[in-house]
Amino acid sequence: MADRRGGAARFPANACAAVSGLFKHVPNLLTGLRLASAPAVALLLIGGNDRAALGIFALAGLSDAADGFLAKRFGFATRFGRYLDPAADKILMLASFLTLTLMGVAPLWLTAIVIGRDLAIILGVVLVVLFDLPVDVQPLFVGKISTACQIGYVAFALVLLSFGVAWPDALAFASVATAAATLLSWLAYGRILLMAIWKRGRV
């Protein structure tokens, strides 16, 4: 469309700024949808809608990748989002593992390890803040591996349920592998906390 001077019509600067401002909140919106997916997956599994639960879980995974890409690629990361994003992941994992355990799919000991590790990390962060410990609170590579294993385990279990496949040996192996990665992550974070406490004690 051309204006009266024959030039191309332009959007007002404030309109462009408004659109940009709205787009900046897309990552947080996607994270919010991932939060909502946690109870949705649990309710669908309990209701026997395994394939629907798998679909919601897959969409949650895609939204996680999408909001991470948008936040980093376009600089849309916010302080609120930095806290909300890992919280959404943890709540989805918590809901999935607890529901799968209630259904007799995931072993109780594995769910206890997964939940125990997350509670230990939260306690560690609280101690770091309360006692001003010299720790740079950043996710470790082994922690990312642990999270990936947990996501992979839940996805694998949902696929087996969705297609009515009984593969107990493979699921048992996945349980052991997920537990091992989670315990290694637990130990790695615990070591950092103990080192920080030791350094604080020497000051």
- Our CA dihedral for 115, 117, 119, 125, rounded to 10 degrees, sits at -150
pLDDT tens for 158-198 read 999 999 998 999 999 999 999 999 999 999 989 988 888 88
What residue ranges do the domains of the chain occupy?
Answer: 12-85, 105-203
pTM, full prediction: 0.81
DSSP state of 132: T
Query: Over the chain (203 residues), what is each successive 10-residue block's mean pLDDT?
Result: 48 46 65 88 95 94 73 60 74 95 96 94 85 77 91 96 93 97 93 85 61
Give the span between the Cα atoms of 134 and 160, in whole angstroms. 45
> Cα–Cα distance between 135 and 189 in angstroms, integer?
11
Round to whole Å and give the CA distance between 150 and 199. Answer: 33
Q: Cα separations (Å) of 64 from 58, 85, 132?
A: 10, 8, 31
